[in-house]
Homo-oligomer: A and B are copies of this chain.
Amino acid sequence: MDSLVDADLTALLRERGYRVTRPRRAVWEALSAAEDHLTVEQVCARIRDAGHDVDTASVYRTLDLLEELGLARSSRLGDSDASRWEVAHPDEHFHLVCTSCGRVDHHIGSLVAQVRDHLDAGHGFAVDEVELTVTGRCSECR
C-alpha cells in the first residue's frame, strides 16, 4: 500500500519541482495510514513509532506543503486549539464532533455542495472553501 501512496507523492513533488525527502515521505505515510484526524504532535509520534525521527518544525512545514499540493487538509475541530490534519479526500464532506466521546466522524452528502451552489448562483460570492463542523452528541453518547 505504501508503494502506491508513495508513488503519488513522489510524482507530485517532482512535478512541482520539490525534492523527495525522508521527512516528507514519513509525514505522508503517517497521514495516509491514519483513520482519524491527527494533530502535529500525533503525526510526530506515529513517525517515531515507525522507527524514524522527524523534527516538529519539519512536520509543520511538510503539512503546509501537502496542503498546498492539495494532498492534505487541516481543520480546527472541537475546542482544542491544535489544528488537526487529514488526507484531502476528493469528495466534499463535513465533520461531526461528539462533545462527549470526542469522536470525529466524516459525513458525506450533498449539503456542502448545496451551500456552494446556493452562494455561487445567487450571491456573487466566489466560493473557495466550505467548512462545516457540527458539534453535539453521537448516537452512542446521546
Contacts and interface: CB of A to CB of B under 8 A. Distances in A.
A111 interface: yes
B115 A134 contact: yes
Contact of A134 (B111, B129, B133, B135): B129
Interface residues of A, number: 28
Copies in the complex: 2
Nearest to A131: B133
B96 A119 contact: yes
Interface stretch (A20-28, A30-38, A120-128): A120-128
Contact of A130 (B109, B128, B134): B134
A62 to B, nearest CB: 18
User: Which one of A96, A111, A125, A130 has the highest number of Cβ atoms from chain B below 10 Å of its Cβ?
Assistant: A125
A3 interface: no
16 contacts: A76-B76, A107-B123, A109-B118, A111-B118, A124-B142, A125-B137, A125-B142, A126-B137, A126-B142, A127-B135, A128-B136, A128-B137, A129-B135, A129-B136, A131-B132, A131-B134
Contact of A132 (B76, B115, B123, B128): B115
Interface string A4-23: 00000000000000000000
A132 B132 contact: yes
Contact of A138 (B125, B129, B130, B142): B125
